């Protein structure tokens, strides 16, 4: 029970973290990375190198000039013996997620202006990230978090915060907590878009009448919170962006991308 062992080892740290977060605000730059020291019990050493999945390639591939693999990463080869039941109950010790949470969120885990531009068909740039608020909420009790604000002019704007947690359960709990906070801030109808291990989506309205679409997703010990305004929140487009944000969270996950 790896997860339980980790959980039992950090109650004091978690309380300290919660207290620290209540005191902290949000980063002020276009993209900010914060390590919540003491939350993981490991030394803060900047961006932790992502563990590479067995069989995966070490870097993003180049379209030409490199030899292409003939098997997917992790495939032992077509001559490998067949196995029996693919649905066997996994043992209690072979689950993943045993690595400690990252103490810094890498930039690769965040949405970037170029990718968002390619999806929306308009120009995007980074801007100042606002402080924690009901319309740009930060997840609490994280090990580390990083925020980025993206502006698409008439296409709208996005604020994204990615936070790491000590384990998957804590990340799910953070999404549930965020759901309660949104409900407390606004009389909004929150729904579950069924992405990640837990998710919530709500449209919140500011006193000035501005509406913001907020989506929070937990996946493998990481939470991504997206707040969007304007045309970028159109259903299909927002769905694509949240899917991309979910996919990027692997860069901040303890086990890395697979």
State which of positions 113-132 bind other proteins (CB under 8 A): 114-115, 117-124
Q: Which is nearer to other proteins, 13 or 119 (CB)?
A: 119
Buried/exposed 179-203: b ≥16 CB within 10 Å, e otherwise: beebeebbebebeebebbbbbbbbb
121 or 209: CB nearest other proteins:
121
> Could you say which of 24, 32, 52, 205 contacts other proteins (CB under 8 A)?
52
Phi and psi for 107 in degrees, rounded to 5?
-60, -30
Q: Is 205 exposed, middle or buried (0-12, 13-18, 19+ CB in 10 A)?
A: middle
Handedness of CA 185, 187, 188, 189 (dihedral sign): positive
| 11 vs 86 by CB, closer to other proteins | 86
Buried/exposed 13-26: b ≥16 CB within 10 Å, e otherwise = beeebeeebeeeeb
Nearer to other proteins (CB atom), residue 44 or residue 108? 108
Q: Which of residues 64-83 bind other proteins (CB under 8 A)?
A: 68-76, 78, 80-83
Coil/strand/helix, residue 136: coil
Closest alpha carbon to 196 in 156, 133, 253, 113: 253
**Contact string (CB under 8 A) for other proteins, positions 83-102, x = contact:** xxxxxxxx---xxx------
CB of 104 to other proteins, least distance (A): 15
Write the interaction track for other proteins spanning residues 234-253; mark x where CB under 8 A is met and - where it is not.
Answer: xxxx--x--xx-xxx-xx--
Nearer to other proteins, 27 or 221 (CB): 221
Q: Does 191 bind other proteins (CB under 8 A)?
A: no
In whole angstroms, the minimum distance from the beta carbon of 43 to other proteins comes to 23
**Number of amino acids touching other proteins (CB under 8 A):** 75
Nearer to other proteins, 39 or 248 (CB): 248
Q: Which is nearest to 109 in space by CA: 26, 222, 218, 231?
A: 222
Q: Footprint of other proteins on residues 2-41 (CB under 8 A)?
A: none
**Phi, psi of 164, deg, nearest 5:** -100, 150
Give the one residue of 59, 154, 189, 207 binding other proteins; rule: CB under 8 A: 59
């Amino acid at each position: 029970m790896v997860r339980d062992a980790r959980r039992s080892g950090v109650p004091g740290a978690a309380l300290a973290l919660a207290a620290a977060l209540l005191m902290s605000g949000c980063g002020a730059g276009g993209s900010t990375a914060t390590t919540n020291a003491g939350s993981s019990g490991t030394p803060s050493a900047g961006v932790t190198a992502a563990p590479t999945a067995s069989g995966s390639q070490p870097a993003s591939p180049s379209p030409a000039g490199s030899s292409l693999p003939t098997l997917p990463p992790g495939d032992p080869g077509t001559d490998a013996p067949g196995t029996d039941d693919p649905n066997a109950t996994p043992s209690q010790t072979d689950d993943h997620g045993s690595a400690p949470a990252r103490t810094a969120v890498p930039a690769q885990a965040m949405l970037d202006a170029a990718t968002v531009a390619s999806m929306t068909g308009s120009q995007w740039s980074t801007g100042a990230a606002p402080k924690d608020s009901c319309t740009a909420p930060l997840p609490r009790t994280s090990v580390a978090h990083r925020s980025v604000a993206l502006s698409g002019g008439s296409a709208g704007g996005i604020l994204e915060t990615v936070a790491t947690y000590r384990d998957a359960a804590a990340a799910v709990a953070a999404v549930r907590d965020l759901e309660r906070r949104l409900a407390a801030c606004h009389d909004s109808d929150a729904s579950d878009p069924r992405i990640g291990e837990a998710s919530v989506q709500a449209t919140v309205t500011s006193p000035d009448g501005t509406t913001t679409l907020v989506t929070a997703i937990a996946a493998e010990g990481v939470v991504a919170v997206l707040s969007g305004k304007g045309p970028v929140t159109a259903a299909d487009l927002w769905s694509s962006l949240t899917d991309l944000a979910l996919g990027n969270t692997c860069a901040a996950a303890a086990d890395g991308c697979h």
